[in-house]
A and B are shown apart, each in its own frame.
Chain A
Amino acid sequence: MVTTARHGPALRRHHRFAAGDRVHVASRPVLGHCRTPWFLRGKNGIVVHVHGTYRNPEQLAYHRPGLPMQTLYKVRFRQTDVWKHYPGPHGDNIEVDVYEHWLEPADHA
């Protein structure tokens, strides 16, 4: 059974990003299982929470161990940044959990 961070071994000590950091979602293509929604590729957001470390689901899906573990972040995106024609007000947001290997510092994007 897949275990969560609390129960998993080999916790990573270092998280690349912290709450408040601006991040950019990589727009690279992917083959197979992926948990980063397509509509976020290439978008900028802000880390609002560091959830901890989890086995990489892109490997788990194929019965591989999912190591090294990936830090999982809650990232907040402005809806008006994600959708060109977002019909709601500017203050609306969408928050998505994104694994570290999909994130880059926004300033270098």
Chain B
Amino acid sequence: MHDHDQHHDDDHEHPHGAAHGHKDGHGHAHAPPQRDHDADPMTPYEVLEEALRTLLIEKGILTNQQISAAVDLMDSRSPALGAKVVAHAWADPAFKRRLLKDTRAALAELGIDIGAVAEFATVENTPKVHNVIVCTLCSCYPKMLLGIPPAWYKSRAYRARTVVDPRGVLKEFGVELPADVEVRVHDSTADLRYIVLPMRPKNTKGWSEEQLAGLVTRDCMIGTALPLEPRRAKAA
């Protein structure tokens, strides 16, 4: 395995931890593949977070209960909530018009409070326009409707490539659009968060909103997918 050259001795200087992958069976205990606690020193960002949180609590600006409540609120938001909104818009054209015109007010009708941090806007897919959401500067996302974004949405690759070659990115997600359909990228760089209203799939006449919501995936509300086809959803 090793070349017997001048570097050989250096190998033995390496600390023997979970990461070492050579010289199996030489007698010492291996670290478990996953440790049961974090023993590493805190990263600078972890130190910063703890210092800030501790100060805010000490100075009486926030309480631990408020922080927990905010975490719980975030946990209550998931793509299922967005799917419910999309299904309602498909079923009720008047609601759809209100959603497109004033997303905040339309969501409030359904008892969904999007908070005061950002404004929301809905963009509608049509036979002529397919919308895709990205945030090139950071990773702005309609969290209050869809929950925590997927890791790829925050990746530099998605953020950088979606603006330059949206059709190439969509193809990798399995969406290929004809050239006469406009691909419209929305870069949410500022105070608005966007959600895509996909087109209602064919052959869903008479479906309940609950059934319709089952066709609405997270990715089709970002614009990187189309809703599930009725047959596929039924089989699933």
Footprint of B on A, CB under 8 Å? 1-7, 35-37, 39, 51-52, 54, 57, 72, 79, 82-83, 86-89, 91-99
Contacts and interface: CB of A to CB of B under 8 A. Distances in A.
Interface stretch (B8-16, B40-48, B186-194, B228-236): B186-194
A12 to B, nearest CB: 15
A92 B41 CA distance: 48
Q: How large is the interface on B (under 10, 10 to 19, 20 to 34, 35 or more residues)?
A: 20 to 34
Interface string B159-178: 00001111110000000000
Contacts of B104: 6
Interface in B68-110: 104
Interface stretch (B111-119, B143-151, B214-222): B111-119
Nearest to A4: B119
B136 interface: yes
B117 A91 contact: no
A54 B188 CA distance: 15
B190 A57 contact: yes
A5 B191 contact: yes
Contacts of A72: 190-192
A96 B187 contact: yes
Nearest to B128: A91
Nearest to B114: A4
A37 B189 contact: yes
Contacts of A92: 166-167, 182-185
A93 B184 contact: yes
A51 B191 contact: yes
Contacts of B67: none
Given A91-B182, A95-B184, A83 B164 contact: yes
Contacts of B190: 35, 54, 57, 72, 97-99
A23 B42 CA distance: 48
20 contacts: A4-B191, A5-B191, A6-B119, A35-B137, A36-B189, A37-B136, A37-B163, A51-B191, A72-B190, A72-B191, A72-B192, A82-B163, A86-B165, A88-B166, A88-B167, A92-B182, A93-B182, A94-B163, A95-B185, A96-B187
A53 to B, nearest CB: 10
B179 interface: yes
B36 interface: no
A7 B116 contact: yes
Given A93-B185, A94-B163, 4 more contacts: A37-B163, A88-B165, A94-B187, A97-B189
Interface string B185-225: 11111111000000000000000000000000000000000
Given A72-B191, A87-B167, A97-B192, A3 B116 contact: yes
Task: Return the 9 tightest CB-CB contacts between A and B, nearest first.
Answer: A97-B190, A94-B185, A89-B179, A96-B187, A92-B183, A54-B191, A91-B182, A88-B167, A35-B189
Nearest to A40: B187
B180 interface: yes
B173 to A, nearest CB: 15
Nearest to A37: B136
B187 A95 contact: yes
